[in-house]
Amino acid sequence: MKRYSAFAVAREALRNHMGWERAWASPEPKKKYDVIIVGAGGHGLATAYYLGKNFGITNVAILEKGWLGGGNTGRNTTIIRSNYLQDPSAAIYEKSRSLYETLSQDLNYNVMYSPRGVIMLAQTEHEVRGYKRTAHANALQGVSTEFISPQRVKEIVPIINLDGPRYPVLGGLWQARAGTARHDAVAWGFARACSAMGMDIIQKCEVTGVSRDGDKVTGVTTNRGDIACDKLGIVVAGNSGHLADMAGFRLPIESVSLQALVSEPIKPCMDCVVMANTVHGYMSQSDKGEMVIGGGTDGFNSYTQRGSFHHIEETVRALVETFPMVARLKMLRQWGGIVDITGDRSPILSKTPVDGVFINSGWGTGGFKATPGSGWGFAELIAKGHSPLCDEFSLTRFKEGRFIDESVAAGVAH
């Protein structure tokens, strides 16, 4: 794999850009792999990358029924933060945030990481108490956050209206080193690095069955033939329940649609991310000038990836009071993603009842921010059988009552 650099760009400019290589190969599947990862989204590709980088496991296939990064990885609002309340959550999200800071250098691919900061607005006295508690917990966890005054919020976000008639801004939880990254670039960067290590990324390869010998996995059946493996990682977000059913076990998750939209491009007016949980809305401005807007999950289970009119009304109505300028914007496009939600609003990174099968699911609306940290921990779990980042997120916690309750810190969708 040729390294990307300023010199490479200059060289290719002089020869009409005819010398660029394909970013990743498109091979035919082999008969057997040491590890098969189902799902070529951010988490699946990150898992494969860290299997190779940290453990030298490169006989790996990443199977994707559609196209690379075409699921939730390409359908989110790109927010990165780690200001979670519970210790296991803060550990894995902070690991992820720290990995994002050097990810472009590690992958030799610009993921456009922008540590612009994230404010979670407190618009009720209950939220003030809750966010102060989270700030204290973050201090003990080594996560740098602070509770700031309404005046400080106004300094950071001049376009905000502090004196909304229903929900005035009473302060905010501010994480200065949080931010955003380019979701597609994260997937493409991981894919390029995996391919360079000799891993096979196989698109348009749908898994239709999981083969077992007793309680041990032996491979998968796909629309491109049977593929054998020693270990199987399931990383398919909202479709996790289907794959688990194929393997012979059940998951405590629900799949719902999470919608988002972007406005027409406008001049720069907001250089951080603002989340308003009370009114169910959050917003940031993209590098192209679009206002990226999201809200809560739909109130019913579904597998749709389309937008709906009721979401536009509910989410924009919520934000207009806090950001009056939103009322004058036109919507450019809208989309939905299928998110998998657990009862305690925390993910599942675990072994399963089937020997050799591992599951990475339940991220709900917080999947993108966890991409490299999830891949780091899940790769360790697959390679070694346990990981300090994953141990608390096992399936057994639901049977044992060890819930990791992130109903508030998880954000507006929960």
The CATH code of the domain that includes 393 is 3.50.50.60
Smallest CA-to-CA distance from 347 within 134, 93, 173 is with: 93
Smallest CA-to-CA distance from 389 within 50, 96, 152, 134 is with: 96
The string of pLDDT tens digits covering residues 221-271 is 999 999 999 999 999 999 999 999 999 999 999 999 999 999 999 999 999
CATH number at 137 reads: 3.30.9.10
Task: Annotate 288-329 with DSSP letters as a single string.
Answer: TSPEEEEEEEEEEE----S--HHHHHHHHHHHHHH-GGGGGP
Helices (H), 20-178: 42-55, 87-101, 103-107, 125-141, 150-156
Same domain, 211 and 164: no
Asked whether residue 4 is assigned to any structural domain, the reply reads no
Asked whether residue 75 is assigned to any structural domain, the reply reads yes
Which of 305, 321, 342 is the last residue in one of the domains?
342
Q: What is the pTM of this model?
A: 0.95
Same domain, 159 and 238: no
Asked whether residue 327 is assigned to any structural domain, the reply reads yes
Same domain, 67 and 136: no
Asked whether residue 25 is assigned to any structural domain, the reply reads no
Query: What is the pLDDT averaged over residues 292-317?
Result: 85
Answer whether 336's CB lies under 8 Å from 257's CB.
yes
Which of 308, 342, 376 is the last residue in one of the domains?
342
Query: What is the pLDDT averaged over residues 97-121?
Result: 97
| Strand duo 179-180 + 225-234: pairing | unpaired
Q: How many independent structural domains does the chain possess? A: 2
Asked whether residue 304 is assigned to any structural domain, the reply reads yes
Same domain, 186 and 166: no
Same domain, 272 and 383: no
- Burial of residue 10 (number of CB atoms within 10 Å: 0-12, 13-18, 19+): exposed
Same domain, 131 and 266: yes
pLDDT score for 414 = 39
Helix, strand counts (H, E) of the chain: 11, 18
Smallest CA-to-CA distance from 232 within 24, 62, 390 is with: 62
State yes or no: pLDDT of 412 exceeds 60: no
Same domain, 203 and 333: no
Q: What is the mean pLDDT of the chain?
A: 93
Same domain, 37 and 87: yes
What's the rounded Cα separation, in Å, for the pair 260 and 75? 8
Asked whether residue 359 is assigned to any structural domain, the reply reads yes
Same domain, 105 and 151: no
State yes or no: pLDDT of 313 exceeds 90: no
List the domain range (segments joined by +) for residue 327.
118-178+255-342
The string of pLDDT tens digits covering residues 382-406 is 999 999 999 999 999 999 999 998 8
**pLDDT band at 307, cuts 50/70/90?**
confident
Which of 342, 359, 374 is the last residue in one of the domains?
342
State how far the alpha carbon of 341 is from the alpha carbons of 81, 230, 257, 327, 346, in Å.
19, 29, 10, 31, 8
Same domain, 321 and 287: yes
pLDDT score for 413 = 41
Asked whether residue 289 is assigned to any structural domain, the reply reads yes
Same domain, 94 and 209: yes
pLDDT score for 317 = 86
Asked whether residue 22 is assigned to any structural domain, the reply reads no
The string of pLDDT tens digits covering residues 27-73 is 999 999 999 999 999 999 999 999 999 999 999 999 999 999 999 99
Same domain, 189 and 338: no
The string of pLDDT tens digits covering residues 185-226 is 999 999 999 999 999 999 999 999 999 999 999 999 999 999
